[in-house]
Chains A and B, each alone.
Chain A
Amino acid sequence: MPFYWILPVLLVIAAVGYVLGRGRAMRSADGDARNLHSLPNYYGVHAVIAGLVPAALLLAAWAVVQPIVVDTWVSQSISESRMQEAGSRGLAMSEVRRLAAGLETAVERGAITAERARSASQSMDIDDLREAVSGAGIALTGNIAPETLENAQRYNRISAVGSAIKTVLVLLLSLAGTAYAVSQTTKEFRARKSVEHGVMALLIGAACLAIFTTIGIVLSLIFNTIEFLRLYPAMDFFFGTTWSPSFTGRGGASQLGILPLLWGTFYISLVALLVAVPIGLFAAIYLSEYASKPVRGIAKPLLEILAGIPTIVYGLFALLTVGPLLVSTFGDDGWLGVDWMDGGTAVMTAGLVMGIMLIPFVSSLSDDIINSVPQAMRDGSLGLGATHSETVRQVVMPAALPGIVGAVLLAASRAIGETMIVVLGAGAAAQISGNPFESMTTVTAKIVSQLTGDADFNSPEALVAFALGMTLFVFTLGLNVVALYIVRKYREELE
């Protein structure tokens, strides 16, 4: 609860600071704003910044650090025997955390009294307590060991103390900041400079968020991947040809080889590119070289609608329209009379639909690139008596080639990272096969299936998703970097 209170209190302090800062400045200028170095509002804002920013930073830092500190503290008191029962210190600790959170919520909802949550001990009926907690809508699994209960209570106690200290420190810091800023305020004080420094810091901070996001992605992938590789041999992961996770969550019988997933990813992306690249490229050539203005004005936005449609729509289209259509063509009783396809979900289904999705991606990138080929080159070729198509094929295309290669690589990266279409359209069978009418699965689809559901986050079956994510991230990042480099290089060459 206190957290919800800190913010309004901080805002009140800031408001008071604004009034005091502005007032003091005006007084020191004998009530005439022209005597001030900066506009009066800047003095107020200066006090607000001094009151809010350091306090908010402390608040954020505390929110990150406190759980770590409390965790380490409490986890030291977990006994050996408990650790063995739960499997590892981490698992035992997560039980503690879950119970601690359960107790908190139960108290909040009035299912048990705060007193009871604090003092319940092994002498009391633990089952009774669990029932009360579950009654409040928090499911607790397994038996609660007395030690776990004790640790959970301890966890809550330390957290409460920490929060109290945090509240006091944050408020003190805010008051001190405001007081300092107000005391600084004289008519000579360069409030605008100081405020602008503050604003600039905010702007830089916002720009740095991109870096933090990348770091966040890399860290969350790396730590969990390392954790996974500790539980599962790296060789089996990278070179295993069988993917069959056990469903129990903790069984050692899982085989988690990435090769079938990579093959599925590669195969589906290949089909998608085989659809998207020729269609997209020819559409781009026609639109930029031949189409009259009205045709271009209609066809181009219509094609680009395909790019704005959410992938879930394509997924559904694959599962419910394209899949059955393909089966009725290539399936057992299909009108082609060939029995190639058993189920609607297949490499072909997902690849075809993904290809449709990528058409506008390829065509608008290629369109840009073809348009950036200088007109002088076309004139040179036409002036020699080349037909338009000869000009396109022999002069424009070779000149645009690097850019188009870049565009295709970007499309490939998009295909590899696409999730919804393959989750719904490609099927779930992880296999290495050459038949495009068979069901296969991809890295992204397996990330989804391993991380949804109630799998234990510390089991290899769940952690493998992070290793898959890492692989995906590295692949797409590589493709993107190469593609962007090629495209940029190409632009520079033409200019």
Chain B
Amino acid sequence: MTDAPATIADASASRSKGSLLEKDARTKKRNAAETRFKAYGIIAIGIGLAFLAALVFSIVRNGVPAFTQTYVTVPITLEAETLDPEGNRDPADISGVMTFAYSPLIQQGLQSALEEADVETDMSASDLTKMLSSSAENTVRQRVVSNPDLIGETEEFRLLASSRVDGYLKGRVERADLERDRNLDAAHLDIVDQLQEAGVVSRTFNMDFILGTDASDNRPEQAGIGASMLGSFFMMLVVLALALPIGVAASIYLEEFAPKNKFTDLIEVNISNLAAVPSIVFGILGLAAFIQFAGLPQSAPLVGGLVLTLMTLPTIIISTRASLKSVPPSIRDAALGVGASPMQAVFHHVLPLAAPGILTGTIIGLAQALGETAPLLLIGMVGFIASNYPEGVASGFLDPNSAMPAQIYEWAKRADPAFYERAWGGIIILLVFLLSMNLLAIILRRRFERRW
């Protein structure tokens, strides 16, 4: 059979199609399938966005309360015979008085505050102070030590309420929850209600959460993220100081000078693999190489910064190479044409033109490093360690400290649910930092974006 003869008969047979204006059943079915398929896509995006919304909602709902804190305003008579037995107002003697000496004063103060607010109770004075944070004595003592002239006066103190009272005002703790609680009874809450009406108990903005240090397990109301924020800051300094120059140098070599050979390939393969190595493995590297082998101090932001540098380098190298690549060859040719050496061409012309892109990539790399947690756990930047501010720059790099995400993890692990609120609040702060860094990157990109 040849190819031709079959044609004519078939073609005329196929001429009996119906009008295009009427959809046949099959087309209807196919269009329904089309609509379904499209719907799957919309549903998938909808689910993704719903997850995002759920995440944001749960962060905001659980985290915002951490930014307010409940205080009790108590008038305390600072009796001279208790606080300054020698009567000479000598700071050394006053600081010799331990915190427990302040307890009775606070008890008296609290009772007088109750009387003023016309609250009647048959609860004992020491039972009443359970409404206050156990940091109350220390707060009063510190103020007295720093200002001995107050002794003998009656002063108003704003003391932290205990985390249960704070939780009650925020709706986290309810009367039913307190049935088996050793610290607080429902009766306390009745008093709190009355005191709140009288203005003795109030919720205000909680600067101490943003600037403060971590607190021990039984004082969640006192815990703040400030010290670990400094830890993160010192780590980011290390990352910036190392990752940017090393990343740029490596990118310049690979993009501008490297010959195409096995060795360059090896470097390239290494970089793309390092970009995909799990972050926890970098933690193991940090532990083994920097702490075990090189003997650097454990839990130090310096070590954290080194580990994060190694982790961030691939990101920075990849984005730096992209911005170097986007500088057109004509610029290099022009520089070489007037007699610049290849290196001068790169450093004088290509690098400045690529700088905005490099900067953007670096900021995004830093943001990534700022949110990283897992490697920090292995080099010991977790636990109850962000309890003091660093004393100076050297101490900031070398003394044990936590970092924001590690601090959040630490709070999430603790037994008292009051810490969860702190963890969510910490996430809000962390995300504010990340968001500003990404915004900055976007603005830089918009501002300096160059189309060749």
Task: Give the shortest distance, in Å, between A378 (CB) and chain B (any CB).
Answer: 14
Which residues in window 248-291 of B have CB below 8 A to A? 249-250, 252-254, 257-258, 266-267, 270-274, 276-285, 287-289
Tell me the bound Cα distance from A296 to B386 in angstroms: 43
**Which stretch in B55-63, B108-116, B221-229, B233-241 binds the other chain?**
B55-63
- Are B284 and A315 neighbours in the complex by a CB distance under 8 Å? no
Say yes or no for A21: interface residue by CB 8 A criterion. no
- Are A416 and B278 neighbours in the complex by a CB distance under 8 Å? yes
Say yes or no for A268: interface residue by CB 8 A criterion. no
Given A213-B285, A309-B55, A316-B427, residue A476 in contact with residue B278 (CB < 8 A): yes
Q: Which of A214, A302, A316 has the most CB of B within 10 A?
A: A316
**Which stretch in B36-44, B75-83, B93-101, B144-152 binds the other chain?**
B36-44
Residues of B within 8 A of A196 (CB): 341, 343
Task: Give the shortest distance, in Å, between B191 (CB) and chain A (any CB).
Answer: 30
Say yes or no for A376: interface residue by CB 8 A criterion. no
Say yes or no for B215: interface residue by CB 8 A criterion. no
- Are A207 and B254 neighbours in the complex by a CB distance under 8 Å? yes
Contact with B along A439-458 (1 / 0, CB 8 A): 00000100110011000010
**Nearest CB to that of B35 among chain A residues?**
A389
Tell me the bound Cα distance from A317 to B31 in angstroms: 41
Given A210-B267, A220-B288, A390-B30, residue A316 in contact with residue B280 (CB < 8 A): no
Tell me the bound Cα distance from A392 to B43 in angstroms: 17
Given A316-B408, A320-B420, residue A214 in contact with residue B274 (CB < 8 A): yes
Say yes or no for B292: interface residue by CB 8 A criterion. yes
- Are B246 and A317 neighbours in the complex by a CB distance under 8 Å? no
Task: Give the shortest distance, in Å, between B412 (CB) and chain A (any CB).
Answer: 5
- Are B31 and A469 neighbours in the complex by a CB distance under 8 Å? no
Residues of B within 8 A of A290 (CB): 38, 41
- Are B281 and A387 neighbours in the complex by a CB distance under 8 Å? no
Tell me the bound Cα distance from A161 to B16 in angstroms: 104
Q: Which of B37, B40, B383 has the most CB of A within 10 A?
A: B37
16 sampled A-B residue pairs with Cβ under 8 A:
A202-B249, A217-B281, A280-B48, A283-B48, A286-B38, A306-B48, A306-B52, A310-B370, A315-B409, A317-B58, A317-B59, A388-B37, A389-B33, A419-B373, A465-B284, A466-B288
- Are A316 and B423 neighbours in the complex by a CB distance under 8 Å? yes
**Which stretch in A121-129, A231-239, A328-336, A477-485 binds the other chain?**
A477-485
Residues of B within 8 A of A217 (CB): 277, 281-282, 284-285
Say yes or no for A200: interface residue by CB 8 A criterion. yes
- Are B276 and A224 neighbours in the complex by a CB distance under 8 Å? no
Task: Give the shortest distance, in Å, between A272 (CB) and chain B (any CB).
Answer: 13
- Are A452 and B295 neighbours in the complex by a CB distance under 8 Å? no
User: Secondary structure of the B side of the interface?
Assistant: helix
Residues of B within 8 A of A281 (CB): 44
Say yes or no for B185: interface residue by CB 8 A criterion. no
Say yes or no for B160: interface residue by CB 8 A criterion. no
Residues of A within 8 A of B31 (CB): 387
**Nearest CB to that of B293 among chain A residues?**
A220
Say yes or no for A494: interface residue by CB 8 A criterion. no
Residues of B within 8 A of A283 (CB): 41, 44-45, 48
Say yes or no for B434: interface residue by CB 8 A criterion. yes
Tell me the bound Cα distance from A452 to B31 in angstroms: 59
**Nearest CB to that of A480 among chain B residues?**
B276
Residues of A within 8 A of B310 (CB): 209, 213
Say yes or no for A173: interface residue by CB 8 A criterion. no
- Are B267 and A199 neighbours in the complex by a CB distance under 8 Å? no
**Taking beta carbons and an 8 Å cutoff, which residues of B are in contact with A?**
30-31, 33-34, 36-38, 40-45, 47-49, 51-52, 54-55, 58-59, 62, 245-247, 249-250, 252-254, 257-258, 266-267, 270-274, 276-285, 287-289, 292-295, 310, 313-314, 317, 341, 343, 367, 370-374, 377-378, 380, 382-383, 405, 408-409, 412, 420, 423-424, 427, 430-431, 434, 438
- Are B41 and A447 neighbours in the complex by a CB distance under 8 Å? no
- Are B373 and A312 neighbours in the complex by a CB distance under 8 Å? yes
6 A-B pairs closest in CB distance:
A417-B278, A286-B41, A310-B371, A220-B288, A282-B44, A206-B249
Tell me the bound Cα distance from A209 to B420 in angstroms: 40
- Are A203 and B253 neighbours in the complex by a CB distance under 8 Å? yes
Say yes or no for A424: interface residue by CB 8 A criterion. yes
Tell me the bound Cα distance from A332 to B252 in angstroms: 61
Contact with B along A205-225 (1 / 0, CB 8 A): 111111101101101110110
Residues of A within 8 A of B52 (CB): 302-303, 305-306
Task: Give the shortest distance, in Å, between B341 (CB) and chain A (any CB).
Answer: 6
Given A203-B252, A204-B253, residue A472 in contact with residue B434 (CB < 8 A): no
Pick from A289, A313, A469: contact of B284, CB below 8 A.
A469
Tell me the bound Cα distance from A425 to B44 in angstroms: 24
Contact with B along A294-308 (1 / 0, CB 8 A): 000001001101101
Residues of B within 8 A of A390 (CB): 30, 33-34
Which residues in window 264-300 of A have CB below 8 A to B? 278-283, 285-287, 289-290, 299
- Are B409 and A477 neighbours in the complex by a CB distance under 8 Å? no
Task: Give the shortest distance, in Å, between B220 (CB) and chain A (any CB).
Answer: 15
Tell me the bound Cα distance from A473 to B341 in angstroms: 43
- Are B382 and A480 neighbours in the complex by a CB distance under 8 Å? no
Given A308-B438, A451-B378, A469-B280, residue A356 in contact with residue B373 (CB < 8 A): no
- Are B48 and A279 neighbours in the complex by a CB distance under 8 Å? yes
- Are A321 and B250 neighbours in the complex by a CB distance under 8 Å? no
Given A310-B430, A466-B288, residue A484 in contact with residue B34 (CB < 8 A): no
Task: Give the shortest distance, in Å, between A141 (CB) and chain B (any CB).
Answer: 15
Say yes or no for A349: interface residue by CB 8 A criterion. no
Pick from A204, A319, A414, A444: contact of B280, CB below 8 A.
A444
**Nearest CB to that of B252 among chain A residues?**
A203
- Are A473 and B281 neighbours in the complex by a CB distance under 8 Å? yes
Pick from A209, A289, A309: contact of B431, CB below 8 A.
A309
- Are B55 and A317 neighbours in the complex by a CB distance under 8 Å? yes
Tell me the bound Cα distance from A302 to B45 in angstroms: 10
